[in-house]
Amino acid sequence: MSIIDKSGTYTLGDRQVKRLGYGAMQLAGPGVFGPPKDRTAALAVLRAAIESGVDHIDTSDFYGPHVTNQLIKEALHPYPKDLVLVTKIGARRGPDGAWLPAFSAEDLTQAVHDNLRNLGRDVLDVVNLRLMFDTHGPAEGPIEAPLTVLAGLQQKGLVRHVGISNATRKQVAEARRICPIACVQNQYNVMHRHDDALIDELARDGIAYVPFFPLGGFSPLQSAVLSEVATKLDATPMQVALAWLLRRSPNILLIPGTSSVAHLRENLAVAGLTLPADAMAALEAAAGH
């Protein structure tokens, strides 16, 4: 049995996946732009992820752009039957690497076809609509038109399941009225708990929640507490942050990313890390500061 099997499984669309997956964003160059600094190493990480039991990978054709999808295809195609590839659309990259909204029907349709081509797929397993109303995080804005386009592509058989990313609680509720939502992907971690109520709502309805930036935006005090807990457990701060997310709710799926095989194995080892009560108490206390 793979160590990541200890993390359990959860529903993603119509599949049961292990709760520890892999995020491919860091395989592109600096700023998620351009080719990887070491192509051979990038391919090795992807293959090591699958060999370690990972059965869902998060990616996007605007990583690079095109870079991570092409690496995934080169490393893993023909794909294992149980592998779920989750991509996202709604943005494009400027010549300087800038992140730009791409919400028109033409943009979204082209993005789906680009993902299909670069991944070597006839249908995409899960496509998240990435909202870009504010570059710094979720912000209210109209989603009906772009989500309806994505739902239409689903009806044409190009997309199996639809998700939403960087969304407010209100936008998630609106999205669920437009079409079935397989997952929500937002920034969330032990110190940034703005989606607590949303996670609980989604868990009640069997919908996956996929947090990103597990170490993002901590204050110096919060980072110090996390490091102290990690030292006591002979773990890394990232491992503690991931272990807390696994414990937070059964519908949370993790997609830690790395361009290093050693770091990949370190991340996946979190499945075997148990946080004792005093560690949980220390982390909860720090979250309020």
Q: How far apart are CA 9 and CA 251, in angstroms?
A: 9
Q: Is residue 193 part of a domain?
A: yes
Mean pLDDT of all residues in 40-48: 98
Q: Is residue 187 part of a domain?
A: yes
Which residues span the domain enclosing 88? 3-217+247-258
pTM beyond cutoff 0.95: yes
Residue bearing tokens 């494009």: 92
Whether 3 shows a pLDDT value over 90: the answer reads no
Catalytic residue among 10, 22, 63, 188: 63
Q: Note the pLDDT tens digit of each residue in 72-121.
A: 999 999 999 999 999 999 999 999 999 999 999 999 999 999 999 999 99
The CATH number covering residue 62 comes to: 3.20.20.100
Q: Is residue 118 part of a domain?
A: yes
**Lowest mean pLDDT, pick from 59-68, 126-135, 175-184:** 126-135
Q: Note the pLDDT tens digit of each residue in 180-212.
A: 999 999 999 999 999 999 999 999 999 999 999
Q: Is residue 278 part of a domain?
A: no
Q: Is residue 285 part of a domain?
A: no
Residue 132 pLDDT grade (very low, low, confident, very high; cuts 50, 70, 90)? very high
Number of structural domains the chain divides into: 1
- Taking residue 70's Cβ as centre, other Cβ atoms within 10 Å add up to 18
Residue 6 pLDDT grade (very low, low, confident, very high; cuts 50, 70, 90)? confident
Q: What percent of the chain has pLDDT over 70?
A: 99
Question: Given its phi and psi angles, is residue 162 left (phi above 0), alpha (psi -120 to 50 degrees) or beta?
Answer: beta
Q: Is residue 266 part of a domain?
A: no
Q: How far apart are CA 160 and CA 97, in angstroms?
A: 30
Is 63 noted as a catalytic residue in this protein? yes
Q: Is residue 19 part of a domain?
A: yes
3-state SS of the chain?
CCHHHHHCEEEECCEEEECECEECHHHCCHHHECCCCCHHHHHHHHHHHHHCCCCEEECCCCCECCHHHHHHHHHHCCCCCCCEEEEEECEEECCCCCEEECCCHHHHHHHHHHHHHHHCCCCEEEEEEECCCCCCCCCCCCCHHHHHHHHHHHHCCCEEEEEEECCCHHHHHHHHHHCCCCEEEEECECCECCCHHHHHHHHHCCCEEEEECCCCCCCHHHHHHHHHHHHHCCCCHHHHHHHHHHHHCCCECECCECCCHHHHHHHHHHHHCCCCHHHHHHHHHHHCC
Residue 152 pLDDT grade (very low, low, confident, very high; cuts 50, 70, 90)? very high
Q: Is residue 115 part of a domain?
A: yes
